[in-house]
Structure 1
């Protein structure tokens, strides 16, 4: 008898409901490529095709339709069992420190997961810069840390690796051959160092058009058309856009959102939240 993996079934339900590997990836917090690999594995285990392409959508085959109701029940029973066994233990408040980029993008979805599984758990969110976050975790002022800056001294897991793009507002129009106006964070920031290094190595002139201490300030400057910046693609909004190749700006390395913790100091509630956010 072969066992069906709950993780594969959870992704299968997401694809079935959203009719797209890309849209399902957002639901299960994986990349599109990972979702595709999971569905290939599930089809291999079952020995049949579960999806067929209809235009741009993924539609269920006859076998996929038959599996969907079982998958929903199995995932639901798994989640119910997890909540019943674990939610009583997660009673001590959990303090999570996060950088502004993570608060803006990843954290809301993770908080929703925590609320569904531990409805009585108190979570305290503290937002700060990387140096302060590391100090707070080191001293035990926070239990978990979500950041984009590497902190090798702490145990960690990578939650997501995201492409970094050159972003501008609708009002910005690049001028060929002109110095690139950069919108920068004042403090040490991996995005700042990444774009400065890339432009310098490419021999492209640049200047600081606007500097701010907050991510809200970066957004305001972008929307005003004051210049461009580099950010993870999760920051994109309807009034912001990725610069097209005609801007001739150099490619930028991806950024990783990581969850950090002190291996010697996590209390039980923090450990429950950590395993819920990053089960692998």
Structure 2
């Protein structure tokens, strides 16, 4: 129990503390000026403590914010480094693909556009991004620009590759359709051009190549194509005619036996018949013709260097 007594005469504050009803008491007194000074001191103390508490909280919040920003920045830097590494690999792959496309275009005899050549000289990345003197946002913007540039190059390169591949496939189909092997093996007895007919005994133009050998010697298709005729032609005997496309066609005459049917597709080197002497022939041989748009041309131009059938 506390009891406060104010002494107006002495202008002092007295504080008396009793412990129980019969117990002794304790007390002390302070002057009014001392009490005022104490109150002022305590007020200043608590105000200073409150200021320290507020500043401490603000500093802790600011420090926490700085740490969080630093962590986010470090994360962005790591992600940026990772993206840069991926872009470097992508750029390398694109440059290699561009080189392959250039080779394809060269093989297809297709000129590389000037802007394509310029693109081949662009690209590339510094070994390390100078993060110390650039902001993360500027680096990210640069990455976006580099990515867009690589996408444009890749799209253009893919288009050029597709064109080169189409050109090569077209050439491949043309090569498949071009007669290029010997239709059989044996001895050449008559060439393309004017001659005296061995049976009719008159001068006439020989439209093919005669290759003589034993009866039953295999006869092969000289290119891929579709069989358009099988049967007997006047003067030619048993004959096979093949349309190879691209204006090419071939004729195989004086056969002993035909081994393909009309409408059938054949491959280069496929067996189509056996050598014979049907029609106007003095002995077993193959009369072989190559035609372009229906006009007979010299078959020698379309034979390889050796009479080997593949």
- Higher Cα radius of gyration: 2
Structure number with the higher strand fraction is 2
Q: Same fold by TM-score, threshold 0.5 exceeded?
A: no
Larger relative contact order (C-alpha < 8 A, sep ≥ 6)? 1
The TM tier, using the shorter chain, reads: under 0.3
- TM-score, with normalisation over the residues of structure 1? 0.18
- TM-score, with normalisation over the residues of structure 2? 0.17
